[in-house]
Amino acid sequence: MVDLTRIMDDEVFMAFASYATIILSKMMLMSATTAFYRMTRKVFANPEDCVTFGKGENAKKYLRTDDRVERVRRAHLNDLENIVPFLGIGLLYSLSGPDLSTAILHFRLFVGARIYHTISYLTPLPQPNRGLSFFIGYGVTLSMAYRLLKNKLYL
């Protein structure tokens, strides 16, 4: 039997596991941030969520949208759209035997860029802060996809 625990002895794979876990945990923080703004600003999407603030017609006024909440939700969706390709392509890239230092450079750049993207989106910082951090993460993922397909294409 393959001793699966040994997969984690592979340094590239261990590095991928660490960076992927960190960026996924950061993405999960977006749910908590949305919940925080919804509670403190009393902005809800579902009637059953605002029952504690009033009954009937009185509760309906909390069913609204709010710039701050929508901003966090856009940042969250952008995370999903970018972290999913990173996870899929990054996992396969890690298994394709890349150079350790090249791989770690990719992972660090991606995680750094996505954290900076969130900061730029939520502060918000003036453009091109958010745009640049988006394109760095985007480029890193495409670079891994390119290396993967160049070496291992099998259709």
Q: Helix 100-122 crosses helix 129-152 at what angle (to 10 degrees)? A: 150
Instruction: Output the CA–CA distances (angstroms, integers) from residue 47 to 40, 41, 86, in the order listed.
Output: 17, 15, 36
- Compute the distance between CA of residue 94 and CA of residue 139 in angstroms, rounded to an integer: 17
Q: Does 13 bind a second copy (CB under 8 A)?
A: yes
Q: Does 140 bind a second copy (CB under 8 A)?
A: no
φ, ψ at 94 (rounded to 5°): -60, -35
Q: Does 57 bind a second copy (CB under 8 A)?
A: no
Largest CA distance in the chain: 64
Instruction: Considering only residues 66 through 105, tell me which ones interact with a second copy, judged by CB under 8 A.
Output: 71, 74, 76-77, 80-85, 87-89, 91-92, 94-97
Q: Where are the beta strands (DSSP E) in the chain?
A: none
Tell the smallest beta-carbon distance from residue 105 to a second copy (Å).
12
In this complex, which beta carbon is closest to a second copy, that of residue 41 or of residue 112?
A: 112
Considering only CA atoms, which of 102, 101, 90 is closest in space to residue 148? 90
Q: Does 49 bind a second copy (CB under 8 A)?
A: yes
Tell the smallest beta-carbon distance from residue 56 to a second copy (Å).
15
Is omega for the bond preceding 128 within 30 degrees of 0, making it cis? yes
Tell the smallest beta-carbon distance from residue 124 to a second copy (Å).
5
Q: Which residues bind a second copy (CB under 8 A)?
A: 1-15, 17-22, 24-25, 27-28, 30-31, 45-46, 48-49, 51-52, 71, 74, 76-77, 80-85, 87-89, 91-92, 94-97, 108, 121, 124-127, 130, 134, 138, 141-142, 145, 148-149, 152-155
